[in-house]
């Protein structure tokens, strides 16, 4: 991993990836939205309301995926002092928070007609709300110190402690009695969802992933350039 510790080398790699990830995002989002809105059938019980699933479920997956990657980056930053690991976590946090907020909003929109309420304090909803607060807490903490290194270290510790919440979210429907149904896609054996709905769902999930790759690379590039400018200013101030 230290091959990518050099910011200049990383920027070259990012420049090569960005056009492809951006193009993939546009194509996959267009295809996924078409399949979700027009190519998939309404559910026999939920009717047209089921189409919220094609946004809600990938957003939930990405909320967990982004936080898990941030926690791994935090461990790498604390243990191996990788110079880009901390910047990655900082760049990814607003994106993960956005996915989590989208998950909560679409979940409420979906829950209102299905459950008869916008919100219930069941294990899955509560743990996802805690995840959202962890994102907000991390972003607040890294900017709460005059010394950026202290803020980064405190944020990394919060990410690692908060990682306990990830398996809680994943297995909450199995451990506790909740309104959420058990896993339909990742369960052992055949997914309990028809291919006419599974394909649009997976296309949207890949589209959200390529979107994350594109935006996090753009934000990481901006963080690297900002760090360079800060270093130059500090050097000029000491001269």
Topology (CATH) of 20-184+193-238: 1.20.120
H-helix or E-strand spanning residue 171: helix 165-175
pLDDT above 70 as % of the chain? 90
- Binned at pLDDT 50, 70 and 90, residue 41 comes out as very high
- Lowest mean pLDDT segment, chosen from 5-14, 126-135, 185-194: 185-194
Per-residue pLDDT at 211 exceeds 80 = yes
Per-residue pLDDT at 29 exceeds 50 = yes
Determine the Cα–Cα distance for residues 184 and 109; give it in Å rounded to an integer. Answer: 20
pLDDT per residue over 107-131, tens digit each? 999 888 888 888 888 888 999 999 9
Question: First-to-last CA distance in the chain?
Answer: 35
Per-residue pLDDT at 5 exceeds 80 = no
- How does DSSP assign 64-110, residue by residue? HHHHHHHHHHHHHHHHH--TTHHHHHHHHHHHHHHHHHHHHHHHHHH
Per-residue pLDDT at 190 exceeds 70 = no
169-180: b or e for each residue (b if 16 or more CB lie within 10 Å)?
beebbeeeebeb
Looking up tokens 């760090």, which residue turns up?
Answer: 227
């Amino acid at each position: 991993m230290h091959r990518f510790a050099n910011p200049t080398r990383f920027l070259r790699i990012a420049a090569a990836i960005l056009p492809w990830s951006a193009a993939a995002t546009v194509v996959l989002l267009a295809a996924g939205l078409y399949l979700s809105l027009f190519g998939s059938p309404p559910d026999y019980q939920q009717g047209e309301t089921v189409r919220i699933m094609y946004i809600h479920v990938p957003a939930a997956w990405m909320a967990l995926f982004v936080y898990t990657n941030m926690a791994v980056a935090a461990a790498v930053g604390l243990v191996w002092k990788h110079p880009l690991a901390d910047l990655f976590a900082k760049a990814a946090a607003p994106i993960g928070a956005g996915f989590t907020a989208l998950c909560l909003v679409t979940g409420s929109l979906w829950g209102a007609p299905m459950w008869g309420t916008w919100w219930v304090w069941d294990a899955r909803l509560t743990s996802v709300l805690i995840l959202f607060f962890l994102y907000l807490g991390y972003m607040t903490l890294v900017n709460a110190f005059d010394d950026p290194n202290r803020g980064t270290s405190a944020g990394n510790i919060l990410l690692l402690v908060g990682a306990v919440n990830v398996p809680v979210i994943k297995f909450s429907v199995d451990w506790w009695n909740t309104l959420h149904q058990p896993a339909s896609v990742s369960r052992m054996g055949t997914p309990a969802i028809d291919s006419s709905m599974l394909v649009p769902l997976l296309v949207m999930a890949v589209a959200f992933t390529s979107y994350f790759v594109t935006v996090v690379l753009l934000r990481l590039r901006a963080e690297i350039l900002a760090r360079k400018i800060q270093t130059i200013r500090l050097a000029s101030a000491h001269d």
